[in-house]
Every structure is written in structure tokens, then in C-alpha cells.
Amino acid sequence: MITLTDTAKTKVKQLIDQEGEEGLALRVAVRPGGCSGFSYEMFFDTDVSPEDVTFEQGDVRVIVDPSSAQLLAGAELDYKDGLDQSGFAITNPNAQRSCGCGQSFS
């Protein structure tokens, strides 16, 4: 399953708190598309299907659909806020190839 670094957990929790909606969780998914075959998708969600994999990472609830869970096994979500890099990034050991933007993989 995907893990969140401490900085990612802090940022996600901050963003959820700013939304001000009860029951929000971070949904992480892999969708067909992008320049390398698959792309990552992250958004806040309250809808949880019985088939979804749901787990806690610190104060953050994470939801992953079953097919995405297979492709995200062992992956790590990090957040960087610096001069050369800013934003969320996923390091995925299952990705054989990724594009230059870092948003898609195969």
C-alpha cells in the first residue's frame, strides 16, 4: 500500500482542514492515460465503496480502489516545498518507466 511521508501527512491534513468538510479522505488512484501509460490522481473524497482499501496514515484517512492498490503497492507520497521542487510527488517501485513531468508511468 502507499505510505505518506510526515511532510505529506502534514500538508494533506492542512488541506483537508481548510476544506472544512467532515469525513474527507485523500483518494489516491491510478488511471489509464498520460504520456507513459498511467497517471496518478489525487483528490479529497467522502464516498467509499465496499471494495475500496481504506487505511489511516497519522491523522489522514487514505482511500484507494482495488485496481490502483495493486499498482501503488510499496509507493510513497511525499510533499516538497522548496525552490527547485514544490508539490506532491509519488515514488513508485512498480513504475518501470516514467515521463519527465513525473505524473505518469508505465
Rg (CA), the chain: 14
Measure the CA–CA gap between 57 and 64, rounded to whole angstroms: 13
What's the confidence (pLDDT) of residue 81?
86
- Ordered per-residue pLDDT tens for the chain, 106 residues: 899 999 999 999 999 999 999 999 999 999 886 555 788 899 999 999 999 999 999 999 999 999 999 999 999 999 998 777 789 988 888 776 554 444 444 4
Q: Which residue type, as a one-letter code, is found at position 92?
A: N
pLDDT at position 92 is 86
Taking the C-alpha atoms of residue 13 and residue 25, their distance in angstroms, rounded to an integer, is 9
Q: What's the pTM value of the predicted model, to 2 decimals?
A: 0.83
Strand duo 3-4 + 76-81: pairing = parallel
Domains and CATH numbers, the chain: 3-96 (2.60.300.12)
What are the cell numbers at 79?
510533499
CB under 8 Å to 14, separation ≥6 — which residues? none
